[in-house]
Amino acid sequence: MDKVINAAIIGYGYMGRFHQRKLAGTKGVILTGVFDTDPNRSDEATVEGLTVYETAEDLFNDPAIDLVLICTPNDSHAAYAIAALAKGKHVMCEKPVTMNAKELEDVICAAVASGRKFTTHQNRRWDRDFLAVKKVAESRNIGSPTTIESKVFGQRGVCFGWRALPEHGGGMLMDWGVHLIDQALLMLEGHRVISVRARLMSILTPAVDDYFELSLRFDNQMEYHITVGTFALQPQPRWFMHGDRGTLKIDTFDPHTASMKRIKQDVRGFDSVFEKEHLGPSRTMAPLKPEFIEELVMPITEDLSHEYHRNLVAAINGQEELHVRWDQMLHVMHIIDLAKESSKKNTVLLTQNLYKDGGYEKLFGGLYGIRRSKPASKRAV
Ligand SMILES: NC(=O)c1ccc[n+]([C@@H]2O[C@H](COP(=O)([O-])OP(=O)(O)OC[C@H]3O[C@@H](n4cnc5c(N)ncnc54)[C@H](O)[C@@H]3O)[C@@H](O)[C@H]2O)c1
């Protein structure tokens, strides 16, 4: 029987509370303590019967704590993670795991030195809309995918609180962008990104990007477009995937809002033109007769939202590998760094330097300890 893991949270805000609920529903782990710089949050934790630490150091020095969950604004993640690992704690850090790839390399070095588990919370890997699209892409049900559009829009037009401040790692690229890039890299697992183009804009929040577009070209010539906006009063589909035999659209995060259509096997598009409606003089863009199109059933997965915390506990107990790996985390952060650079320089950036050591998996196939001798900042990206 495994020992129950004692966990503590730094940053008892929205996500701190989220993890409290998740841990309560996970076997083999118990939340015992909290540290937050806001006394109101500390009072709330006291009411919940949790130990409230005066300082983060007090928490790290408590030998009873096995696991630290870092749920503070983004700029404090790296320093807290390094300090916790140095005291022999396992660490789960909210996303974005750090402010940039260089910071992440420093944390990974600390994790290597400590021998403790270290991961980040890429929970949107288990979103059912994403899993459904991934299944369709892999099944080739609409043929080979050529383009995927992944879009998230809100209506409020604000990046609130620390999210509005660049020094805290605010903005939407560092927020939703991290999730959507992680999803893109998983969707195209085994393929490399060959170019990155991004446009970050401040529409209603002055100092950070409250809207961005990011295009990743993969080595199989797939184009993956990510768009995030905080202010859109008309909906766009959450997902749009073009295949060479059909098209998938999902309106929202609920995969039941999907519609997937494929041209029938023996139909040639040119033979099945229906009518031109308001199109004007064009045969190329005329619609197909409906009887030549088949509607496909979307593969919908079970709810796996408990999977992240279950795996975290199993990994700490040495029973499984962590789902969210260092190589994957570093890959995401390199793409984030490149997206910022691309937007600043208004140019497409090629990514060959990302993979020049043989790719991420080779990098972490036991080799990371050797690379520690090189300063992280010298790694060309
Ligand atoms: N995985 C996800 O789906 C998801 C969703 C939302 C937020 N997040 C991430 O979670 C983290 C926290 O976001 P949030 O929405 O919970 O923010 P929040 O503002 O609701 O909570 C942050 C908490 O940290 C405390 N805090 C601030 N600076 C601190 C410091 N230096 N030391 C200790 N405590 C400090 C604040 O008082 C607050 O209670 C961010 O990294 C964010 O990107 C992840």
Taking the CA of residue 18 as reference, the ligand 1 atom at the shortest distance is 16
- Per-residue pLDDT tens digits of the chain, which is 381 residues long: 789 999 999 999 999 999 999 999 999 999 999 999 999 999 999 999 999 999 999 999 999 999 999 999 999 999 999 999 999 999 999 999 999 999 999 999 999 999 999 999 999 999 999 999 999 999 999 999 999 999 999 999 989 999 999 999 999 999 999 999 999 999 999 899 999 999 999 999 999 999 999 999 999 999 999 999 999 999 999 999 999 999 999 999 999 999 999 999 877 776 777 767 688 888 888 888 889 999 999 999 899 999 999 999 999 999 999 999 999 999 999 999 999 999 999 999 999 888 876 667 666 654 444 344 343 333 332
CA of 29 to the centre of ligand 1 (A): 21
Residue whose C-alpha is closest to residue 175's, from 193, 162, 192: 162
Separation CA 207–CA 163 (nearest Å)? 10
What is the DSSP code string of 281-326? S-STTPPBPGGGEEEEPP--PPP-TTHHHHHHHHHHTTSS--SS-H
CA of 12 to the centre of ligand 1 (A): 7
Which residue puts its alpha carbon closest to atom 38 of ligand 1?
Answer: 13
Tokens describing residue 365: 């196939």
Alpha carbon dihedral 8, 11, 15, 18, in 10-degree steps, equals 40
Instruction: Give the up-direction half-sphere exposure of residue 205: CA atoms within 13 A in the CB hemisphere.
Output: 25
Alpha carbon dihedral 78, 79, 83, 85, in 10-degree steps, equals 0
CA of 51 to the centre of ligand 1 (A): 19
Q: Which of 15, 42, 332 to mutate to test the pocket of ligand 1 (most atoms within 8 A of CB)?
A: 15
Q: Within 6 Å (CB) of ligand 1, which residues are found?
A: 10-15, 35-38, 41, 71-74, 76, 94-95, 121, 123, 161-162, 175
What are the domain boundaries of the chain? 5-121+306-324, 125-296
Separation CA 99–CA 171 (nearest Å)? 12
Taking the CA of residue 123 as reference, the ligand 1 atom at the shortest distance is 1
The CATH number of 5-121+306-324 is 3.40.50.720
φ, ψ of residue 317 to 5 degrees: the values are: -80, 5
CATH superfamily of 125-296: Dihydrodipicolinate Reductase; domain 2 (3.30.360.10)
Q: Is 370 exposed, middle or buried (0-12, 13-18, 19+ CB in 10 A)?
A: exposed
CA of 235 to the centre of ligand 1 (A): 28
